[in-house]
Amino acid sequence: MDLKVKYLFSLRAIRDRANVVGEIAKAGNLTHFELREDKLDAVVDFVASIIKRDFGPDKFHTIPPHGRWQHFEVGDIPRITNLLDQWKKEGCDDTEVTRRLIDLFFVSVLLDAGAGDHWRYTEPETGHIYERSEGIAVASLHMFRTFAFTASEVEAIPIVNGRGLERLETAILTEGFQVSDGNPMLGIDSRATLLRSLGQSLLAHPDVFGAEGRPGNLVDYLVSKTAGGSANLDVLVLWDVLQTLLIPTWPKNRTTIAGTPIGDAWPLSILQQGVNIRSPNATAEGIQPFHKLTQWLTYSLMVPFQRVLGMQWSNADSLTALAEYRNGGLFVDLGVLSLKQETLSRGLEASGGDLPLFDASDDAIVEWRAMTLVLIDKLYSMIQSRIGDGVRLTMAQLLEAGTWKSGREIAAQRRRQTKSSPILIKSDGTVF
């Protein structure tokens, strides 16, 4: 593989390139946004107030890492806890419990791009109605328990395997998510296509996922990579496995370099400025990578290893913030970032409404996502002083209790009807 392409797959490249964008922003040379760093203090205060409201003054240590687990427990219903109790009564040891959680989390996270402002899910068992990430979590859990992702309906236990995903019909996903003309979900076809591609990729890597292409076999593979029975796992090893698995599964109409698809990584005009167009690496040098869903999956998969197997992770600080609309919307709603007039007008013309609309690949969206990473890194360095002495949050905790939740709450305050992002994205169901 070309070294420049391999670099773009790495976690290091995400932050490296975003830092370049940050320097350009500091000089006032963004293409689509005005940056008001003087308003960042107000964002830090707001995020700190949300964290202290929910976890202060002495429960900061209980903040869970940003991950899929807590979405399944929406409505204070211990769905995962109940599932674990059931599995243990059936004789599952901790390793098999973890395998099953990895199965579930894998498909649930990869289905968790933005559902849109109008989709809702009614939980069959309770009648409760959920939306957005929590709705997708509960719906995917129900599908998992009813063998939707399994090759054989005579399986005694609900698991996920390559054959089951490979044959998944869009109609099954449509039914599982209760999608209809009156309950539309963005990108339902793309989500089904993604899972079918995932099934093929799982089957293509039996050294990690076994002959059946089971995501849960990742547990055995990662444990085998620890040194001398160590309880420490390496995020970078997990990352390489996930990128090798997932890069081929993303939609084929995304950016490619020398014929190689590069996933959630996009050309960005301000990075292309000053690049020597005669250089053989010119295209790669103008790319900003994010790999948002892969990072969201990484954060989520780490948790079962910690909670069930008692294992810890090294190199966790290599992970970045997540460049998605809740984290990014926080900085737009509170005035740190504002669209320049030309870009704003173009977005409003596209939407025909009060909020600007862009394709996920639009240069404005790529610039916004890059600045989201820049600003959350800045916020992370500032937040400790607002929380108190002796409190040390991880990035995963800041995302969970701070920026993501704050972005959602400010959106609900500003747009009570839809709770949408301040900037709208045409989602294909696989980016946001």
**Using one digit for the tens of pLDDT, what is the confidence trace for 192-212?**
999 999 999 999 999 999 999
**Domain containing residue 4:** 1-66+267-276+313-432
Residue 47 lies in a domain: yes
The pLDDT score that the predictor gives to residue 170 is 96
Residue 27 lies in a domain: yes
Q: What is the mean pLDDT of residues 242-253?
A: 90
The pLDDT score that the predictor gives to residue 306 is 96
Find the range with the poorest average confidence among 116-125, 381-390, 399-408: 381-390
**Mean pLDDT value across the chain:** 92
How many domains, the chain? Answer: 1
pLDDT > 70: what percent of the chain? Answer: 96
The pLDDT score that the predictor gives to residue 390 is 82
Residue 42 lies in a domain: yes
Residue 49 lies in a domain: yes
The pLDDT score that the predictor gives to residue 73 is 94
User: Residue 151: is its pLDDT beyond 70?
Assistant: yes
**Using one digit for the tens of pLDDT, what is the confidence trace for 281-340?**
556 889 999 999 999 999 999 999 999 999 999 999 999 999 999 999 999 999 999 999
Residue 212 lies in a domain: no
For residue 386, CA distances in Å to 46, 60, 63 come to: 10, 13, 16
Q: What is the mean pLDDT of residues 337-356?
A: 97
Residue 182 lies in a domain: no
The pLDDT score that the predictor gives to residue 254 is 84
Residue 58 lies in a domain: yes
Residue 319 lies in a domain: yes
User: Residue 244: is its pLDDT beyond 70?
Assistant: yes
Q: What is the mean pLDDT of residues 132-159?
A: 87
Q: Which amino acid is at 110?
A: L
Q: What is the mean pLDDT of residues 400-404?
A: 96
Angle at 429 between CA 425 and CA 432, to 5 degrees: 50
